[in-house]
Chain A
Amino acid sequence: MSKLNEHHPTKFHGVWALTKRELKKWLKEPIILLMAILQPVIWMGLFGKAMDLGKMFSNSNLGSIPGITIPSEQLQAMLAQIGPIVMNNIFGVKDYFSYMSVGMISFIVLFTTMFSGMSIVWDRRLGFLNKVLSTPVSRAAIIFSKVLNASLRAMFQATIILMLAVIFGLQVSSTFSVINILGIYAAVFLLCLGLSSVFLAVALRSTKWETQMAIVNLINLPLMFASNTFFPISQMPDWIQAIARVNPISYLTDANRQLTVLPLDASSLMVDFAFLGVFAAVFSVIGIALSWRYLTK
Chain B
Amino acid sequence: MSEEVIRTEGLTKVFNKHLTAVDHVNFSVKHGEIFGFLGPNGAGKTTTINMLITILKPTEGKASVLGFDIAKQDNNVRNVIGVVPQEYTADEDLTGLENILLCADLYGIPRDVAKERAADLLKLIELTDFKDKKVQTYSGGMRRRLELACGLINRPKLLFLDEPTLGLDVQTRTATWDYIRKLKKEFGMTLFMTTHYLEEADALCDRVAIIDHGKIVVVGTPEELKHSLGGDIITLSIKDDPDVSELIRGIEHVKEVKKEDDSYRIKAEYGEVTAPFIIEALRRKGYTVTKLMLTEPTLNEVYLEYTGKSMRDTEESREAFRAQRMTMRRARA
Contacts of B107 in A (CB 8 A): 5, 7, 9, 135-137
A13 at the interface (CB under 8 A from B): yes
Task: List the A side residues contacting B79 at CB < 8 Å.
Answer: 4-5, 8, 136
Residue on B nearest A16 in the bound complex, by CB: B105
User: B105 touching A136 by the CB < 8 A rule?
Assistant: no
With A7-B108, A7-B110, A14-B106 known to touch, is A134 a contact of B81 (CB < 8 Å)? Answer: yes
B50-93 CB mask vs A (1 if < 8 Å, else 0) is 10011111000000001100000001101111010111110101
Q: Which residues of A contact B81 (CB under 8 A)?
A: 134
**Is B80 touching A21 in the complex (CB atoms < 8 A)?**
no
B229 proximal to A (CB < 8 A): no
Q: Are A1 and B67 in contact (CB under 8 A)?
A: yes
A17 with B102, Cβ < 8 A, contacts A25-B93, A136-B108 known:
yes
Q: Give the residue name and chain of the B residue nearest to A24 (CB).
A: B94
Stretch touching chain B among A56-64, A77-85, A120-128: A120-128
- The answer to whether A127 touches B108 (Cβ under 8 A) is no
Dominant SS at the B interface?
A: loop
Query: Which chain A residue shows the least CB distance to B92?
Result: A126
Residue A39 interfacial (CB < 8 Å): no
Complex interface: chain B residues within 8 A of A14 (CB): 105-106, 108
| Contact residue among B1, B78, B86 (Cβ-Cβ distance under 8 Å from A135) | B78
Asked whether B109 is an interface residue with its Cβ less than 8 Å from the other chain, the reply is: yes
Complex CA gap A50/B170 in Å reads 62
- B108 neighbours in A (Cβ, 8 Å): 7-10, 13-14, 136
Q: Which of A2, A21, A135 contacts B66 (CB 8 A)?
A: A2
- Which residues of chain A in 4-40 are interfacial with respect to chain B, using CB atoms and an 8 Å cutoff? 4-5, 7-10, 13-14, 16-18, 20-21, 24-25, 28-29
Q: Once the chains are docked, how many angstroms separate the CA of A237 from the CA of B67?
A: 67
Find out whether the CB atom of B89 lies under 8 angstroms from the CB atom of A17.
Answer: no
Please tell me which one of the listed residues A7, A24, A127 contacts residue B86 in the complex, with CB atoms under 8 A apart: A127
Distance to closest chain A CB from B86 (angstroms): 7
Q: Report whether B1 and A127 are in contact in the complex, using a CB–CB cutoff of 8 Å.
A: no
Would you give the shortest CB distance from B213 to chain A, in whole angstroms?
A: 23
Q: Does B154 sit within 8 A of A, measured CB to CB?
A: yes
A1 x B66 contact (CB < 8 A): yes
| Docked pose: A35 CA to B80 CA in angstroms | 43
Which chain A positions have C-beta within 8 A of B113? 7
Collect the chain B residues with CB atoms within 8 Å of residue A28's CB.
93-94
- Minimum CB–CB distance for A146 against chain B, Å: 14
| Whole-angstrom CA separation of A239 from B318 in the bound complex | 47
Q: How far is the CA of A29 from the CA of B78 in the complex (A)?
A: 33
Q: Which residue of A lies closest to B160 (CB)?
A: A134
A4 to B78 CA separation, bound complex (whole angstroms)? 10
B86 touches A136 (CB 8 A): no
Chain B: interface residue count, which band? 35 or more
- Cβ contacts A69-94/B at 8 Å (1 or 0 each): 00000000000000000000000000
Give the contacts of B95-113 with A (CB-CB under 8 A): 98, 102-103, 105-110, 113
Q: With an 8 A cutoff between CB atoms, is B326 at the interface? A: yes
**Across the interface, do B55 and A133 meet the contact criterion of CB distance under 8 Å?**
yes
The reply to whether the CB of B155 lies closer than 8 angstroms to some CB of chain A is: yes
From B75, B85, B110, give the contact of A130 (CB < 8 A). Answer: B85
| Given A134-B53, A136-B75: A24 and B67 interface contact (C-beta under 8 Å) | no
Separation of A59 and B249 alpha carbons in the complex (Å): 116
Tell me the number of A-to-B contacts counted with CB atoms below 8 Å: 102
Report B158 CB to chain A, min CB distance, Å.
Answer: 9
Q: Are A128 and B55 in contact (CB under 8 A)?
A: no
B2 at the A interface (CB under 8 A)? yes
B153: nearest chain-A partner, CB-CB: A135
Residues of chain B lying within 8 A (CB to CB) of residue A125: 326
Most buried by B among A4, A20, A28, A131: A131
**When chains A and B are docked, how far (Å) is the Cα of A296 from the Cα of B105?**
21
In angstroms, Cα B1 to Cα A121, docked, is 41
Q: Which residues of A contact B109 (CB under 8 A)?
A: 7
> In the bound complex, do residue B54 and residue A134 qualify as a contact, i.e. CB atoms below 8 Å apart?
yes
Q: In whole angstroms, what is the CA distance A208 to B80 when docked?
A: 33
Residues on B with C-beta less than 8 A from A1 are 1-2, 66-67
Listed residue (A1, A24, A135, A137) with the most chain B CB atoms within 10 angstroms of its CB: A135
Q: Is B133 in the interface zone, CB < 8 Å from A?
A: no
Residues of chain B within 8 A of A8, CB atoms compared? 79, 108
B157 interface residue (CB < 8 Å to A): yes
- Which residues of B have CB within 8 Å of A135? 78, 83, 103, 106-107, 154
A132 adjacent to chain B (CB < 8 Å) = yes
Contact digits for A170-203, partner B, Cβ 8 Å, 1 yes 0 no: 0000000000000000000000000000000000
Highest count of chain A CB atoms <10 Å: which of B57, B91, B106, B109? B106
Chain A residues lying within 8 Å of B88, measured Cβ to Cβ, are 126-127
Chain B residues whose C-beta falls within 8 Å of the C-beta of A25 in the assembled complex: 91, 93-94
Report how far A21 CA is from B88 CA in the complex, Å: 17
Q: Whole-angstrom distance from the CB of B7 to the nearest CB of chain A?
A: 12
* Whole-angstrom distance between the Cβ of B303 and the nearest chain A Cβ: 27
- Considering the complex, give the chain A residue whose CB is closest to the CB of B83: A134
Residues of A within 8 A of B54 (CB): 133-134
- Contacting residues, chain A, for B76 (C-beta < 8 A): 4
The 9 A-B pairs of least Cβ separation, nearest first, read A127-B87, A9-B108, A17-B105, A135-B106, A1-B67, A127-B89, A131-B89, A136-B78, A133-B55
Can you identify 7 A-B contacts, CB atoms within 8 angstroms?
Answer: A2-B80, A5-B80, A13-B108, A16-B105, A25-B91, A25-B94, A128-B89
